[in-house]
Amino acid sequence: MCQSIYGTTWPFEGLSNACMLSGDMEKRQQMKDDLQRCIDAHKDELHSLSRDIWSNPELAGNEKHAHDRLVRFFSQDQTWTVQSHYKLPTAFKASWGPVSGGVGDPVLNVGFLCEYDALPGIGHACGHNLIAEVGAAAAVGLKAALENQTELPVPVKITVLGTPAEEELGGKIELINAGAFADIDLVFMAHPAQQDASFHPCIIIEEMLVKYYGKASHAAAYPWEGVNALDAAVLAYSNISVLRQQLKPDWRIHGIIKHGGEKPNIIPAYTELEFYLRTPLLKDLCDLKAKAEACFRAAAGATGCQVEITSPTPTYYNILPNATLASLYESNGKALGIHFPEQPTSFCGKRSTDFGNVSFIVPGIHPFFYICTDALNHTEEYTEAAGAEKAQLYTLRTAKALSMTAVDVVCCPDLLKKVRDDFRLFGIHSQFYTTNL
Ligand X SMILES: NCCC[C@H](NC(=O)CCN)C(=O)O
Burial class of 39 by CB neighbour count within 10 A (0 to 12, 13 to 18, 19+): buried
Q: How far apart are CA 30 and CA 33, in angstroms?
A: 5
What is the number of other CB atoms lying within 10 angstroms of the CB of residue 42?
18
**Separation of CA 87 from chain center:** 19
**Residue 353 or residue 357: which is nearer to ligand X going by CB?**
353
State the maximum Cα–Cα separation within the chain, in Å, rounded to a whole number: 86
Omega before residue 98 within 30° of 0, cis: yes
Q: Which residues of 260-277 are buried (b: 16+ CB within 10 A; e: fewer)?
A: ebeeeeebbbbbbbebeb
Decide if 405 contacts 429 (C-beta within 8 A): no
CB of 128 to ligand X, least distance (A): 7
**Residue 58 or residue 207: which is nearer to ligand X going by CB?**
207
**Separation of CA 401 from chain center:** 18
Decide if 277 contacts 296 (C-beta within 8 A): no
CB of 352 to ligand X, least distance (A): 4
Decide if 365 contacts 326 (C-beta within 8 A): yes
**Residue 109 or residue 353: which is nearer to ligand X going by CB?**
353
CB of 385 to ligand X, least distance (A): 15
Decide if 130 contacts 389 (C-beta within 8 A): no
| CA dihedral of residues 323, 325, 331, 335 (deg, nearest 10) | -160
Site string for ligand X, 204-243 (x = CB under 6 A): -x-x------------------------------------
**β-bridge partners, 276:** 207, 254
CB of 89 to ligand X, least distance (A): 19
Q: How far apart are CA 383 and CA 375, in angstroms?
A: 9
Instruction: Please give the single-letter amino acid code of residue 267.
Output: I
SS3 annotation, 390-405: HHHHHHHHHHHHHHHH
CB of 221 to ligand X, least distance (A): 42
Instruction: Please give the single-letter amino acid code of residue 208.
Output: M
**Residue 244: in which H helix or E strand, if any?**
helix 229-244
**Residue 141 or residue 255: which is nearer to ligand X going by CB?**
255
Q: Which of 42, 93, 351, 418 binds ligand X (CB under 6 A)?
A: 351
CB of 127 to ligand X, least distance (A): 8
CB of 165 to ligand X, least distance (A): 9
Closest CA to 243 of 230, 252, 234, 231: 252
Stretch touching ligand X by CB under 6 A, among 21-29, 86-94, 300-308, 347-355: 347-355
Site string for ligand X, 134-173 (x = CB under 6 A): --------------------------------xxx-----
Q: Which of 352, 392, 398, 434 binds ligand X (CB under 6 A)?
A: 352
353 binds ligand X (CB under 6 A): yes
CB of 317 to ligand X, least distance (A): 12
**Residue 303 or residue 352: which is nearer to ligand X going by CB?**
352
274 binds ligand X (CB under 6 A): no
CB of 126 to ligand X, least distance (A): 4
Q: How far apart are CA 386 and CA 398, in angstroms?
A: 14
Range 113-132, binding ligand X (CB under 6 A): 126
**Residue 42 or residue 278: which is nearer to ligand X going by CB?**
278
**Residue 217 or residue 353: which is nearer to ligand X going by CB?**
353
Stretch touching ligand X by CB under 6 A, among 137-145, 234-242, 341-349, 350-358: 350-358
Q: How far apart are CA 418 and CA 221, in angstroms?
A: 74
Range 404-423, binding ligand X (CB under 6 A): none
34 binds ligand X (CB under 6 A): no
Stretch touching ligand X by CB under 6 A, among 90-98, 266-274, 351-359, 423-431: 351-359
CB of 265 to ligand X, least distance (A): 35
Radius of gyration of the chain (CA): 24
**Residue 163 or residue 331: which is nearer to ligand X going by CB?**
163
Q: Which residues of 50-64 are buried (b: 16+ CB within 10 A; e: fewer)?
A: bbbbbebbbbbbebe
**Residue 98 or residue 170: which is nearer to ligand X going by CB?**
170
CB of 50 to ligand X, least distance (A): 15
Q: How far apart are CA 416 and CA 395, in angstroms?
A: 26
Residues forming contacts to ligand X in the complex (CB under 6 A) are 126, 166-168, 191, 205, 207, 351-353
